[in-house]
Chains A and B, each alone.
Chain A
């Protein structure tokens, strides 16, 4: 049972344009969401997070939007740069029931074309 779903395995975007990566979840107990970025042969690195009490969090070029009613979140990267080419994982936690353990999606591979 995949509780966190990233239905697009890959995405290709022109440099300078917006990249939008999507994530859906099924567990209504999830109350904290994170995005991780992973380059080949490296571990994932934390990118940005959002609590369920918010619907938007912004950090430079990266913005995460949360729609709790739709159980959907998205990561916007504006403007996209070639260095953003990586695999992006969505992750979620349900602190009250399972502490800090994260449930990860399957990832979306982003390619930013020069």
Chain B
């Protein structure tokens, strides 16, 4: 049982370039999330999805896009990368029975540097 898998683990991106961070979960979780963590800061929610075909913005969505075509996959797209997007990105999933009592399962993160 792999849980939540994120790729790549590290990446250096040039300003203005685009890339997609991949996230896959094999637990049949209905909810998926993308967070970013900046040094000395908590995790900030970028986007989330409550099921295939349904996505919504979180606290810091600007500069990002997501899609959820399947239950398993929730890729995060960075368009026109900026240095402010240098961060560690975490994908997470959860099985919501309407109470969220099971907590999130996180991936190991993608460390992204924009130069």
Contacts and interface: CB of A to CB of B under 8 A. Distances in A.
B109 A104 contact: no
Interface string A76-107: 00000000000001000101000111111111
A70 interface: no
Interface stretch (A14-22, A42-50, A58-66): A42-50
Interface residues of A, number: 27
Max chain B Cβ within 10 angstroms of own Cβ: one of A4, A43, A93, A101: A43
Given A89-B42, A95-B99, A100 B31 contact: yes
Contact of A45 (B50, B96, B106): B106
Nearest to B91: A43
Interface string B11-28: 000000000000000000
A90 to B, nearest CB: 9
B109 A106 contact: no
Given A99-B50, A106-B42, A41 B109 contact: yes
B25 to A, nearest CB: 12
A106 B40 contact: yes
A45 B103 CA distance: 9
Given A4-B42, A41-B109, A89-B43, A102 B104 contact: yes
15 contacts: A6-B42, A34-B103, A36-B104, A36-B106, A43-B92, A44-B106, A49-B103, A95-B99, A99-B50, A100-B100, A101-B45, A101-B48, A102-B104, A104-B35, A104-B42
The 9 closest A-B pairs by CB, nearest first: A43-B106, A46-B103, A100-B100, A104-B42, A104-B43, A106-B42, A100-B96, A43-B108, A44-B106
